[in-house]
Structure 1
Amino acid sequence: MADEGDILQNLDNANTGPNGADNQPTAAIITQYVKDLSVENPNAPGVFQWQEQPKIDVQFNIGTEPAGNEVHEVALKINITATGEQGAHYIVELAYCGLVGIRNVPDDQAHAFLFAEAPRILFPFARRVVADAVRDAGFPPLLVDPIDFNGLYIQQLQQRRQQEAAGAATPPADAPGGGEA
């Protein structure tokens, strides 16, 4: 058995600030939860007699809000509509959230964590909720294809930079040749 002296070794952490304040960058999911879930089966029971395969439309959105000091709520919103010629088979709307703690992380890296990495971590759990909801509505479970959140984040950053560059290249409205005609 280790004695107390072995356990309490090396307590002088070089990355600790005054009064033991931790200066290490950290970002992690604190907890995750279903914030809102809506499942509609508007044409039941008739829909179970339809022979056609529904067309599935999947939309998603990522949002974040401060939830406290060094804590953000990241919301992964997934909207699914399954429709056919005779109408809607089912509609599922899910807001799956996670509380994310971020400390001592530069703003650009924190932004990337909140909008790319945190949704990537939350997605498998949200995917299971969707599959269960569709199954509980009486249909075969829907397994939403994996999403490359990091690739989408980088793509959106590039689009934003191009828009900003295009906006900077446009002459001001009061300059000769600029503005609306």
Structure 2
Amino acid sequence: MASITPEDAEALANGADLTPQAGILAQYVKDLSFENPNAPASLQGQGQPKLEVSVNVNARAGENDMYEVELRISASARGQGDQALFAVELLYAGLFRLAGAPREAIEPFLLVEAPRILFPFARRVIADAVRDGGFPPLMLDPIDFGGLYIQQLEARRSAGEGGVVGNA
């Protein structure tokens, strides 16, 4: 059980709610790039393209319990003969406020829950960009941010690193 500091006891006596709170203040496209280098020939191809997708999460602390979480998604497709069909890169971010959260809960929230909140919106931006480029929309599969976070924790432990806010 957590001990209550004298400041917390006074705040509670005055009716303050000390329950941890999390909120998303904004979400936005920071950078979006779409390339269709071989158009119009790339739009006439047949067959299933070879897709490559990568995802990276980064979080930065700001002032007043604010954190920016960035979700970077890169995807490219190649057709027959290894011809480049398209490449899309999105840097989608959200501004989160975490008030009263215990220190040990901040990193999991920023690297698991925050990207989980942002992902559906980033997925739509990617799908629309690819569709607007003349291809069928790229519908990314859901991502297990919890699994990625655990892999990152294990990699950090084996490397002897620590820290609260960073990449996943």
TM-score by length of 2: 0.82
Q: Distance in 1 between matches of 2:55 and 2:132?
A: 21
Give the 3-state SS of the residue equivalent to 2:60 in structure 1.
strand
Which residue among 53, 77, 88 is the counterpart of 1:58?
53
**1:43 Cα deviation after fit:** 0.7
Question: Matches of 2:40 and 2:91 in 1, distance apart?
Answer: 27
Aligned residue pairs, count: 152
* 2:160 counterpart SS class: helix
Indicate the SS of the match to 1:81.
strand
Q: Residues 12-23 of structure 1: matches in 2 within 5 Å?
A: 16-17=11-12, 22-23=17-18
The equivalent position to 1:46 in structure 2, one of 31, 36, 41, is: 41
Distance 1:39 1:144 in 2: 16
Select the structure with the greater relative contact order (CA < 8 A; seq sep ≥ 6). Answer: 2
On the 8 A contact 1:15/1:23 being kept in 2, the answer is no
Equivalent residues of 1:77, 1:96 under 8 A apart: yes
> What is the Cα deviation at residue 26 of structure 1?
1.2
Give the alignment of 1:138-153 within 5 angstroms. Answer: 138-153=134-149
2:152 is matched by which residue type in structure 1? Q
Which deviates more from structure 2 when the two are superposed, residues 139-148 or residues 45-54?
Answer: 45-54
Amino acid at match of 1:55: K
Q: Which amino acid aligns with 2:112?
A: A
Q: Which amino acid aligns with 1:120?
A: R
Match of 1:113 in 2: 109
Q: Distance in 2 between matches of 1:18 and 1:37?
A: 49
Q: Identity across aligned pairs (percent)?
A: 55
Cα-Cα RMSD = 2.1
Give 1:22 shift.
Answer: 4.6
Tell me the residue number matched to 1:175: none
- Corresponding residue of 1:156: 152
Q: C-alpha offsets along residues 144-178 of structure 1, whole Å, 9 cap, x if unaligned?
A: 0100101211222123223329xxxxxxxxxxxxx
Consecutive unaligned residues of structure 2, counting only runs of 5 or more, are: 1-8, 162-168
Q: Report the Cα distance in structure 2 between the residues aligned to 1:80 and 1:35, rounded to whole angstroms.
A: 17
- 8 Å CA contact retained: 1:15, 1:24: no
For 1:99, give the aligned amino acid: L
Q: Which runs of 5+ in 1 are unaligned?
A: 1-13, 166-181
CA distance in 1, matches of 2:82, 2:159: 42
